[in-house]
Amino acid sequence: MASSAVVAHEIRSEGGFLPWLLAPQRRGPLLVAPALIVLFLMNIFPLLWSFGLSFYNYSAKKRDVPDFVGLRFFERVVTDPVVWERFKTTAIIVSSSVLMQLVVGFLLALLFAKQFPLRRILLMLVLTPMMLSLVAVGVFFKLFYEPTFGLVSQAVAMFTGDRYALLGSPTGAIIGVVIADAWMWSPFVMLLVLAGLVSVPKYLYEAAEIDRTSPWRRFQTITFPYIKSLLLLAVLFRTIETFKLFDVVYILTEGGPGTATETIGVYVYRLAFQYFRTSQSAALAYIILFVVIVLTSLYLYAVNRRAQEVD
């Protein structure tokens, strides 16, 4: 009550609400207010709304009044073997894709850390995949894997004489998804590693050459310590993003053949927009959010532990 009285007194003393609102000391919050309102409407409010729906029995295709059921849908999701099977599929794709991205990105970073002719042009070409949309990459690789005229099928037919459908088997479909995702995001890992490589002082390598240190020893004692934290950051970012992978999988295989490539992101989509189990899909989405938070916490723990070891 006292604060509202003070505000009312200030408004009267400044000649009205508008002059009081436009006072110099309030211009900063006033300029930030539109961005905060948009953030609340587009991000925070949908999060709170969907979190509330996970405690109610609600379907988007029905007009029934939602019934409060508590943690029933969280319990159903946790005890559902289908969900754990989708998590297993997601883990296979995430681990394979992130590992391939780290290997390819690291090798590319070693290549572009050196100066050579046409380096800038080749670097721009290598960075092109991660500038494309996920839909474009999915369509591109779907045509690439097409058994009738796709390049993969044509290459295999040169040796066997038969057409080859890579996406026709569960293992081949997973490989196809992993290759598409790794092709798109290996340049991102390359950029992070390259930033670490170019920051290594040259005098350290010169001293190592004078001491006749082996290349592996130079990498172990000089190069790797400078890029270790950036590699951990790349693993974190790419693990989180690949864990939520939906676009490329849905365009390439739609989760098939069967459910071989149905990741947890595709399964949430099916629950929400095909089966219309709105509350259950919301509960599963928040479990995925919890997993992402755990992964982030593990990364921060590893970084803090490394910082303590350095100190």
Report the number of distinct structural domains present in the chain. Answer: 2
Say if 207 falls within a structural domain.
yes
Per-residue three-class SS string for the chain = CHHHHHHHHHHHHCCCHHHHHCCHHHHHHHHHHHHHHHHHHHHHHHHHHHHHHCCEECCCCCCCCCEECCCHHHHHHHCCHHHHHHHHHHHHHHHHHHHHHHHHHHHHHHHHCCCCCCHHHHHHHHHCHHHCCHHHHHHHHHHHCCCCCCHHHHHHHHHHCCCCCHHHCHHHHHHHHHHHHHHHHHHHHHHHHHHHHHCCCHHHHHHHHHCCCCHHHHHHHHHHHHHHHHHHHHHHHHHHHHHCCCHHHHHHCCCCCCCCCCCHHHHHHHHHHCCCCHHHHHHHHHHHHHHHHHHHHHHHHHHHHHHHHHC
Say if 13 falls within a structural domain.
yes
Report percent pLDDT > 70 for the chain.
89
Say whether pLDDT at 82 is over 90: yes
Say if 70 falls within a structural domain.
no
Tell me, what's the pLDDT at 181? 94
| Pair 107, 176 in one domain | yes
Say if 69 falls within a structural domain.
no
Q: Token pair for residue 196? A: 């670490």
| Pair 187, 250 in one domain | yes
pLDDT digits (tens, 9 = 90+) for 158-199: 888 888 888 989 999 999 999 999 999 999 999 999 988 888
Is the pTM value of this prediction over 0.75? yes
| Pair 304, 205 in one domain | yes
| Pair 87, 223 in one domain | yes
Q: Measure the CA–CA gap between 66 and 299, rounded to whole angstroms.
A: 39
Tell me, what's the pLDDT at 212? 82
Say if 157 falls within a structural domain.
yes
| Pair 149, 269 in one domain | yes
Say if 162 falls within a structural domain.
yes
| Pair 21, 121 in one domain | no
Whole-number average pLDDT of the chain: 85
| CATH number of domain containing 140 | 1.10.3720.10
| Pair 208, 86 in one domain | yes
pLDDT digits (tens, 9 = 90+) for 229-277: 888 888 888 988 888 889 999 999 988 888 899 999 999 999 998 888 8
Say if 113 falls within a structural domain.
yes
More confident: 271 or 2: 271
| Pair 93, 201 in one domain | yes
| Pair 42, 84 in one domain | no
| Pair 153, 273 in one domain | yes
| Pair 175, 215 in one domain | yes
Say if 243 falls within a structural domain.
yes
Show the domain range for 205.
80-310
| Pair 181, 302 in one domain | yes
Reported confidence tier of residue 215, pLDDT bands at 50, 70, 90 = confident
